[in-house]
Chain A
Amino acid sequence: MTGHLVSAVKVGKRYGTLQALTDVSIDVSAGEVVCIIGPSGSGKTTFLRCINQLETIDAGAIWLDGELTGYRRVGNALRPLSEVEIARQRRITGMVFQRFNLFPHMTALQNVTEGPVQVLKKRPDRAREDAMALLERVGLAHKADVYPAQLSGGQQQRIAIARSLAMRPKLMLFDEPTSALDPELVGEVLNVMRDLAGSGMTMIVVTHELAFARDVSNRIIFMDEGRVVESGPPEALMTNPREQRTRDFLRAVLAPAPTSGAPAGEAAR
């Protein structure tokens, strides 16, 4: 596991009788951009949520930046860490949600400064400066004093990205960041993500945007029924997949939609 920023080994997760994840093993090196694709219910979002401990895992282990997450080895067993320890470990990762989850009672700027001021105990004026730079970076400095309800979905998602970046994470997790957006707003969010990838940020992106996955990622992982089916460089995986299931999925997603104008993401559901 040395050298990898994320190292997941034989991760398992079950909800009651549903086995959501089985033996998922994935390594991600620093600077890598990895896209996870797969049909809905394939466990890709669950896996992402396990990495930053919004879900606890039942089997296996995940290391982030060399540190075992969520548990501490005591003899021959893994003991869960305290809430405070887990909160500290979460700071390594930033998370961008499908439905943005901006804090509606705070302005765009306050959303971005909240973490640095409350969690990192930065001085408010410093946090403000940094936040403005981040808003500038996502192209929304002019919306600093606006509440989320007054912003479009695409703008909200860009603020959400800035909010995560403000914590200076080593790893950014994106959970279907464009799935809740109107088609014409998808581009602006993908552009911000493309810039971020270009700046060397390590990213794991759960997405239905295959074009983005092909252009931006270093590696695509295809998941189905809670398992990693195959993974590889985007070009190879998309043009010449080894597994039948991958082929079926790609054909279903890439096939021209029966009614014109339906985006590719719709067909994948």
Chain B
Amino acid sequence: MADMNNPPVDATAEEVDVARLPHIRPRHYGRITAVVAILVIGLFLIRAFAVGRIDWTTTWQYLVWPSIVWGLINTIWMSVACMVMGIVIGVSCAVARGSPNPVLRFTAIGYAWFFRGTPVILQLLIWFNLALVFPTLGVPGLWSVNTVDVITPAVATLLGLGLNEGAYTSEIMRAGMLSVDRGQYEASKSIGMSYTQSLRRIILPQAMRVVVPPLGNEFIALIKTTSLASIIGFSDVLRNAQDIYYDNAKVIELLMVAAFWYLIVVSVLSVGQAVVERRFGRGFSSSDKQ
């Protein structure tokens, strides 16, 4: 075999000649075609919406209309509240699933079975119509209230979406906790930590790294699912946009307003998710290498 550092001296004149030629970058005709097609379709869409029968000035005018802003605020706080409820329930259920106590384990399994097994819209309707089953709520003989006074559309939405979210989150949390090595539990025990301390300080922070991307997904889905609650009278941004167009018949214009706000909220959230991911990725990401 020829020495790697010295070119073989017995190369023919033609070989030496070819070896001297410049190397040209390959042409990606497929990519070029795709880019052209996308540009054409894009331009077509822009033109279609520009000349289409959409009154953009109406959209613009309603962008910060009081009832739209109010609906947006409702959408946001409801999503956040349901997500917080979902995470709290999800962590509890994930811990219960890992418990040696069969009652705790099966309670968690049963909960996820019920709330994942029925459509969320059905659950919302059940919560809203709770008064049909239990006209009053409270401790018998001590204190009670009329169910219709307590279960407002907002409360029914919070219960319906929050409990439903908890069922899905519990599975995500369980997966995250399973992803943490057993040795981590043992090491935390060996320095005298109690089970709750080791969960809080050692296990959950490491599980978070795995759990944040799917949780972000859930949160985004949840923001849009709040619009389902309009059927039980919760005034979210979509519901309020609909209320306006029932009145003035500017249907598409107001749907564009709602679409705009959903996109903004989801975009802000995606940025937030990236920050949280970086925070919990400490010690794992390759950029930590020195």
Contacts and interface: CB of A to CB of B under 8 A. Distances in A.
Contact of B282 (A84, A105, A163): A105
B184 A101 contact: yes
Contacts of A146: 290
6 contacts: A103-B187, A104-B283, A114-B201, A119-B191, A119-B193, A119-B197
Interface residues on B, range: 20 to 34
A99 interface: yes
B288 A147 contact: yes
A267 interface: no
Given A105-B206, A119-B197, A150-B290, A54 B280 contact: no
Given A103-B187, A119-B197, A88 B192 contact: yes
Interface string B174-206: 000000010110111111111101000110011
B245 interface: no
Interface stretch (A9-17, A34-42, A90-98, A221-229): A90-98
Given A97-B183, A119-B197, 4 more contacts: A97-B187, A99-B183, A105-B209, A119-B192
B289 interface: yes
Contacts of B181: 101
Interface string B216-260: 000000000000000000000000000000000000000000000
A126 B129 CA distance: 59
Nearest 3 Cβ contacts at the A-B interface: A115-B191, A101-B187, A147-B283
Interface string A107-128: 1000000110011100000000
B191 A84 contact: no
Given A104-B283, A105-B206, A149-B283, A90 B189 contact: yes
Contact of B190 (A88, A95, A106, A150): A95
Interface in B140-188: 181, 183-184, 186-188
Contact of A118 (B189, B190, B193, B195): B193
A138 interface: no
Nearest to A160: B187
Nearest to B209: A105
A107 B191 CA distance: 16
Given A101-B184, A119-B197, A150-B288, A106 B283 contact: yes
A118 B201 contact: yes
Contacts of B283: 104-107, 147-149
Interface string A39-70: 00000000000001010000000000000000
B201 to A, nearest CB: 6
Contacts of B280: 105
Contacts of B202: 103
Nearest to A96: B190
Contacts of B106: none
A114 B191 CA distance: 9
Contacts of B194: 83-84, 87
B5 to A, nearest CB: 31
Given A83-B195, A103-B184, A104-B206, A90 B190 contact: yes
A118 B197 contact: yes
Contact of B192 (A90, A103, A107, A160): A90
Interface in A116-157: 118-120, 146-150
A102 interface: yes
Contact of A115 (B192, B206, B282, B289): B192
Given A104-B283, A147-B282, A94 B288 contact: no
Contact of B191 (A54, A105, A149, A164): A164
B284 interface: yes
Nearest to A119: B192
Contacts of A94: 190-191
Interface string A163-193: 1101100000000000000000000000000
Contacts of B195: 83
Contacts of B191: 94, 114-115, 119, 163-164, 166-167
A148 B282 CA distance: 11
